[in-house]
Structure 1
Amino acid sequence: MVKKKVAFYTIGCKLNYAETSTIARKFSNLYYQHVSFKNYADIYIINSCSVTKNAELEFNRIVRSAINQNSQAFIIAIGCYAQLNYKKVSSIVGVDLVLSYNEKFKIIDYINIKYLKKSYPKILSKIKTNNTYFPSFSIGNRTRSFLKIQDGCDYKCSYCIIPMARGASRSDSIENILKNIKFIFSNGVKEIVLTGINIGDYGKIHGTNRRLYTFFDLIQAIDKIPEKGRIRLSSIEPNLLKNEYIEFFSNSKHFVPHFHIPLQSGSNDILGKMHRRYKREIYQEKVKKIRSFIPDAYIGSDVIVGFPGETHKHFLETYHFLKKLEISSLHIFTYSPRENTKSILIQEHVSKKIQCQRNKILRNLSNKKYRFFCNRQINTKKTVLFEKNSKNKKYIYGYTENYIRIKIPLNSYNLFYINTLQDVIIKKIDKDGIMIAEPIK
């Protein structure tokens, strides 16, 4: 039997990566040969994103890339873009099958029944928002694993389309999460990233409106497992990051000192227009709390520039607020209007030129903050999880527990460092912002 070649591509968040990996495992090696997306394949599966316009444009580019590899390939679209704009996605030349949230986890059934290149209108599954829950995690190709603990969101931020794509907030059970963590660690993975759409809202079980657990219940249960390995959080909302969590993390044996807390704006006026559930004073309080309990913690943030109605005064509020804040870096997003969101109705648009200027200013601020944070780590001892690196033969790279990118010169002695945790002393920072370290022998 000739095996069909299948390739996967993921656009967007860590949650998408977890789900892609879970879906890929449904393609048994007995019947399918898994290949790189850059190679010839019979089936290409693209997990899409709809957070920004750029993510949707990337989907179009990836479809063209698949067609260039094999013009007769069967191309399947899944993910948020496929969920929200299935008619538009199905009209893209080359796409054969569009699967909604529910159907993408039954993808093998569709492959077995529908695997046939069509020249007429595309095959569409029944598209609907579904509040069922499908456990997912990535494993096999990476040093770390992304483990889904929660899906959906009950928040109604005025710019965000994700609740429409993902449905209401719902969670996996603590028992199943612990089982998956133990399985992942037993398979040689050294670090797990807990992912979801709104992980701080963990505890609502799918199919009910009841909260059976809290996020605190979950992290306490995880920290008790005997298996060795690091646990890292993905993004958590500032209003859901309770002080008791921060104190708990400061003494944890598994959770690393790394927080990603979205701010979006340093102006309370703009936060109100965004329908965020906090003011900047709450955010400032959380950063100070982290610094008091975990001084060397990495604190990353998300900021949106050019939101409708963001004046020069509002932007300056954001800039000066961030400049004084003891955070480590920023992810800066330029506002991208999304259909069916409330922000699209705000008439006070910010020009693309001004959006780009504000984006650049904050990126420069982020670079300064990151280098300042890294310089404070010089001559400190850290533990690095080293990764496989095929591009640069001179160095081996990895991340410290507090998320600093590290490199050490590659030699025959440290080849075995890949996918291991090693103690190092940080020595200096290079021109690219990567810290150079020496192993502790």
Structure 2
Amino acid sequence: MIDHTVFENKKAAYYTLGCKLNFAETSTIGKVLSEQGVRKVRPGEKADICVINTCSVTELADKKCRQAIRRISKQHPNAFVVVTGCYAQLKPEEVAHIEGVDLVLGAEQKLDILHYLNDLHKTDADGEIHTSASKDIRTFTPSCSADDRTRHFLKVQDGCDYFCSYCTIPFARGRSRNGSIESLVKQAEEVAAQGGKEIVLTGVNIGDFGKTTGETFIDLIRALDEVEGIERYRISSIEPNLITDEAIDFVAGSKRFAPHFHIPLQSGSDDVLKLMRRRYDTALFRHKIEKIKSILPDAFIGVDVIVGTRGETDAYFEDARRFIESLDVTQLHVFSYSERPGTQALKIDYVVDPKVKHIRSQILLDLSEKKLQAFYEAHIGREAKVLFEHTKKDGMMHGFTENYIKVETPYDASLINETRRIRLGGWNADKSALQIESFIG
């Protein structure tokens, strides 16, 4: 039984670390609390409740979470501190022991937060823990970010059945599950009714959509493409073996899906891919990139890569570097391998020195910058449609083209959440975006 009086005149602060999926879920938690009369804390105010949604993809992520929890507890010394997310699910006792933490909620409990906030009284004891074993995480709870962003993140899937050798996500988020197409279309319609124009489809393994409803990813994107009012959808990270040629063809001819893909490679060495227990090889990956570029030559393609994983010899890394260099991709998201307790990768003997990891990471980051700049420069002078965002920095605002080129222009409040056709100009001062040569319409 929920005591609704607990929430009267309360203020909450929300903090999200990690992925876009976390942002969507934090937004949903905020909506649940706001329906109880809890308002979002304003700048300079002290919160009564702090919700911290954590990440645990690497050891560095764990460290950042610990630092954030301590910092936030000091900023809001009398607040009831709730910690949830992947770090809380994987290491609840460690989180509960951090000074200031009052409540630790696992993956199955996070979006049922009201049932655990019966008393907002702080104590000096360790935080109270409510988690479930990963095998028991079965609930799919709808989530969609709806804060002050132009872009909305719609959770379509959660969990993962893949168990790659280096990854703890299946333990942190449970098995693959999803919402129904009908329910997700309704959420997209609600975003459109609120004036939202762009939706990013998020999840842990979104190409695996349909495990719990018997539907398919291609059926999902076909249905979403019919929602009036949404101008753009972007597909977030999708496994190369799950993005079908049929789906690529559909995006190319769709009304609303942007020519923008994010496809995790993780390694360009077939030997390392086997050690990682990935479900594809470099030949399949190359086919997907070439398929996209053959029908969408201006598509933005982001690629995740991990360097320094156990077993990655100098020769294997060089194989990977050459392969990645040969691909017509736009940008690399480079991660250094991090040891994760309980993973199968720990059984691999060959360990890469941290200094070598750093060198390899920098090599790929330099390659990424080279590819990204070439992509931007190829578009200077072309026409594009830009959706402008609300953020203001140093008198400037920015937006993104359909193929995810960042565009900068002097701040004009009338442009926020508006789509305008423009001609792309040259680089801005720090080469982080292109300027606008002229507005066309």
Q: How would you bin the TM-score normalised by the shorter chain?
A: over 0.9
1:402 aligns with 2:403: yes
- The CA distance in 2 between the partners of 1:78 and 1:269, in whole Å, is 36
- Partner SS for 1:281: helix
SS of structure 1 residue aligned to 2:266:
coil
Contact 2:27/2:146, CA 8 A, preserved across alignment: yes
Q: Matches of 1:374 and 1:427 in 2, distance apart?
A: 10
State the alpha-carbon separation in 2 of the partners of residues 36 and 303 from structure 1.
38
Give the partner amino acid of 1:181.
A
In the alignment, what sits opposite 2:413? 415
Alpha-carbon contact 1:157-1:276 (below 8 Å) kept: yes
Q: Per-residue deviation at 1:106?
A: 1.7
Instruction: Provide the C-alpha distance between the structure 2 equivalents of 1:254 and 1:139, rounded to a whole number of angstroms.
Output: 20
Alpha carbons of structure 1 residues 390 and 429: separation in structure 2 relative to 1, 3 Å? closer
CA distance in 2, matches of 1:175, 1:298: 29
Q: CA, structure 1 residues 227+78, in 2 after alignment: closer, same or farther (shift >3 Å)?
A: same
Residue pair 2:108, 2:131 contacting (<8 A) in 1 also: no
Is 1:203 aligned to residue 204 of structure 2? no
Q: Pick from 228, 247, 250: which aligns with 1:248?
A: 250
Aligned to 1:118: 123
Find the counterpart in structure 1 of residue 377 from structure 2.
375
CA contact (8 A) 1:8 1:37 kept: no
Deviation (angstroms), 1:48: 0.7
In the alignment, which residue of structure 2 is the partner of 1:58?
64
Q: Secondary structure at the match of 1:236?
A: coil
1:392 Cα deviation from its structure 2 partner: 2.1
1:125 to partner: Cα distance = 1.7
TM-score of the aligned structures, taking structure 1 as reference length: 0.95
Equivalent pairs, count: 431
- Residue 139 of structure 2 is matched in structure 1 by 132
Question: Equivalent residue of 2:204, what SS?
Answer: coil
Aligned partner letter, 1:367: E
Aligned partner of 2:177 in structure 1 is 170
3-state SS, counterpart of residue 148 of structure 2:
coil
Counterpart for residue 160 of structure 1: 167
What is the CA-CA distance between 1:126 and the residue it aligns to? Answer: 4.2
Structure 2 SS opposite 1:336: coil
Q: Give the drift of 1:128.
A: 2.9
Mapped pair 1:433 → 2:438: no
Gaps of 5+ in 1: 206-210
2:89–2:131 CA contact under 8 A, matched in 1:
no
Q: Deviations over 1:326-377 (max 9, x none)?
A: 0000000000111111002212110100000001111011000000011111
- Indicate the residue corresponding to 1:95 in structure 2: 101
Cα contact 2:199–2:230 (8 A) shared by 1: no
- Specify the SS of the correspondent of 2:195: coil
The one-letter amino acid of 1:417's match is: L
**Alpha-carbon spacing, 1:311–1:37, altered in 2? closer, same or farther (3 Å):** farther
Show the 5 A alignment for 1:337-352: 337-352=339-354
Offset, 1:39: 4.7
Q: Residues 27-70 of structure 1: CA distance to partner in whole angstroms, max 9, x if unpaired?
A: 12663221258752121110011111111111111112212213
TM (norm. structure 2) is: 0.95
Larger mean Cα displacement after TM superposition, 431-440 or 289-298: 431-440
The 5 Å alignment of 1:16-415 reads: 16-28=22-34, 31-35=37-41, 39-111=45-117, 113-129=118-134, 130-205=137-212, 212-393=214-395, 395-410=396-411, 414-415=412-413
SS at 2:109 equivalent:
helix
Unaligned runs of 5+ in 2: none
> Quick one: structure 1 residues 126 and 110, their matched pair in 2 at CA, closer, same or farther if it must change by over 3 Å?
same
TM-superposed CA distance for 1:228, in Å, is 3.7
Deviations 1:281-322 (A, max 9, x none): 111111111110000000000000000111111111111111
Residue 380 of structure 2 aligns to a residue whose secondary structure is: coil
- CA positional deviation for 1:247: 1.0
- Residue 439 of structure 1 aligns with an amino acid whose one-letter code is F
Amino acid at match of 2:199: I
CA distance in structure 2 between the partners assigned to 1:96 and 1:140 by the alignment: 26
Contact in 2 for aligned 1:185/1:229 (Cα 8 Å): no
Paired residue type of 2:215: Y
Structure 1 stretch 57-66 or stretch 30-39: which is displaced more?
A: 30-39
Contact 2:388 2:415 in 1 (8 A): yes
2 CA distance for matches of 1:142 and 1:51? 25
- For the residues of structure 2 that align with 1:378 and 1:390, how far apart are their CA atoms? 23
Task: Give the CA deviation at 1:226.
Answer: 3.0
Distance of 2:45 and 2:321 partners within structure 1: 44
Q: Is the CA contact 2:198–2:230 (under 8 Å) kept in the aligned structure 1?
A: no
1:86, 1:127 within 8 Å by CA — same for their partners in 2? no
Instruction: Summarize the Cα distance change of 1:126–1:378 in structure 2 as closer, same or farther, 3 Å threshold.
Output: closer
Q: In the alignment, residue 418 of structure 2 is paired with which amino acid?
A: T
Instruction: State whether residues 15 and 51 of structure 2, in contact with CA within 8 Å, keep that contact through their aligned partners in structure 1.
Output: yes
Supply the RMSD in Å over aligned alpha carbons. 1.5
8 Å contact from structure 2 (residues 82, 104) kept in 1: yes
CA distance in 1, matches of 2:410, 2:72: 37
CA distance in structure 1 between the partners assigned to 2:256 and 2:37 by the alignment? 38
Specify the code of the residue in structure 1 equivalent to 2:120: Y
